[in-house]
Amino acid sequence: MATEVLKTKAEQELAQQFETGMPNLPGSDVGWTKAMREAAWQTYAAAGLPHRRVEEWKYTDLRALLKDAYPPAPALGEALTAENIDAALGEHVAALDCHRIVIVNGHFREELSDLDGIGGQVEVRSLSEALSDPSDWLQNTLGQVAPQDGDVIASLNAALMTGGVIVRVAAEAKLEKPLHLIHVAAVKDAAGLATRNIVDVGADAAVTLLESYTGHGAIPVQRNAVTELVAGDKADVHHIKLQNDNAHTAHLSTWMTRLGTRASYRAFQFSTGADVARNQIFVQFAGEGGLSHVSGAVLSRGKQHDDTTMVIDHAVPECESREFFKLVLDDDARGIVQCKVNVQRDAQKSDGHQIAHGLMLSETAEFDSKPELEIFADDVVCGHGSTSGQVDEDLLFYLRARGIPEPQARALLIEAFIGEALEKIERDDVREAFSALTSSWLKGE
């Protein structure tokens, strides 16, 4: 006799959404899209929402954290102006000189976007349209860039996604200004959002892709955002995320990246918003001589929970991976960094190193760091390190002895701590914007 696994309220609501909502999802009348969604749903449903007994989720028990599954957000969302978008981004990020690609509740909003001067180099298309008319390329790409078998969040996303964009950067294109994907949640009532970006960077192309996740207003949101990114041979990609969702947001984010031969991938995630955030980053080396440097800064306070979980897969020889994260945790905040580095049997001369530092500003903050190395090749260099501590009293005394009052001295040291992570961002304009966000955060803004 088969026993039915007891589903939580949120899981039951998700099942209801899928059953009744399927006909309204983009591409539901198209065979390939429908089959893809159903297969993804099955993968999700076999496991349900992840909980603490699933090793990868031991610190982030979604089954406990998500009491309800909010109904899907209306596709069009609120009517927003360019000023609303700037306000949602905040002055420092809004001031960045970028090609803007604005996505409100998953819907690509061309009238709010600014793609002047990139014709012939970059093609941007709405994913919801593409799902209704899936090209061979899409069928061969979606969900297959760096597949994570059984990742329930990415599967749930594939089953329920309503939109996002496809960005294709032509081979050898060199873009001066960043492409800024601005994902804004704009809802009247508590809502769920499932969006996906597919980014295809051609061989020898150079591009900075900045993704901002933010909200218009303070209505609770459950966001499930996926970005699949292919970097072609010798492509040079800077991939940066700003997570500044409103304080009532559950932010689930998954990056799946595949790197071609001698491709260079420098990723950075700056996380300061949301109530609960799970940032998944999966990088797969598919060609020899690739480079992946993934870094990030996390600023959390109150009861915020921020989990960054990475899996770096050295599938081929002679690739270099670095992970460097810094977290500032105040009040009852909890920060988590997990990073698993796989070195496969043939991946000789792999070079991997990961570091995570937590700076605790209160007695009740918590930092969990879990490095994992799985090495099957015998000629590799791999290492890891992690520290957690408080603001150094000797440094504080030195600054105060020079006349700097304690709160200012403390802020200077925290900025310096985060600054070492921000240094990993090669673009001065983005680094300075994030530095300004850090200063604002320290002032409680």
Tell me whether residue 70 or residue 417 sits nearer to other proteins (CB atom).
417
Q: d(Cα 336, Cα 338) in Å, to the nearest integer?
A: 7
Q: Which stretch binds other proteins (CB under 8 A): 330-338, 371-379, 413-421, 426-434?
A: 413-421
**Any contact of residue 97 with other proteins (CB under 8 A)?**
no
Q: How far is the CB of 351 from other proteins (least distance, A)?
A: 24
Considering only residues 22, 291, 391, 404, which one is a binding residue for other proteins as defined by CB under 8 A?
Answer: 404
Q: Which stretch binds other proteins (CB under 8 A): 212-220, 353-361, 415-423, 437-445?
A: 415-423
Cβ atoms < 10 Å from Cβ of 12: 13
Q: d(Cα 108, Cα 305) in Å, to the nearest integer?
A: 29
Q: How far is the CB of 280 from other proteins (least distance, A)?
A: 28
Tell me whether residue 98 or residue 421 sits nearer to other proteins (CB atom).
421
Task: At 233, list the tokens.
Answer: 């041979």
Concatenated DSSP letters for 289-339?
T-EEEEEEEEEE-TT-EEEEEEEEEE-SSS-EEEEEEEEEE-TT-EEEEEE
Q: d(Cα 205, Cα 330) in Å, to the nearest integer?
A: 41
Buried b (16+ CB within 10 A) or exposed e, 35-58: ebbeebbebbbeebbbbeebebbe
Considering only residues 415, 427, 436, 439, which one is a binding residue for other proteins as defined by CB under 8 A?
Answer: 415
Q: Which stretch binds other proteins (CB under 8 A): 27-35, 41-49, 247-255, 397-405?
A: 397-405
Q: How far is the CB of 405 from other proteins (least distance, A)?
A: 5
The contact pattern for other proteins, residues 418-437, with x = CB under 8 A and - = no contact, is -xx-----------------
**Any contact of residue 408 with other proteins (CB under 8 A)?**
yes
Considering only residues 118, 171, 377, 399, which one is a binding residue for other proteins as defined by CB under 8 A?
Answer: 399
Q: Which residue has the tokens 């088969």?
A: 2
**Any contact of residue 401 with other proteins (CB under 8 A)?**
yes
Q: d(Cα 61, Cα 174) in Å, to the nearest integer?
A: 42
Tell me whether residue 182 or residue 422 sits nearer to other proteins (CB atom).
422
Considering only residues 83, 393, 428, 445, which one is a binding residue for other proteins as defined by CB under 8 A?
Answer: 393
Q: How far is the CB of 322 from other proteins (least distance, A)?
A: 18
DSSP helix/strand/coil, 53: coil
- At a CB cut-off of 8 Å and minimum separation 6, what does 135 contact? none
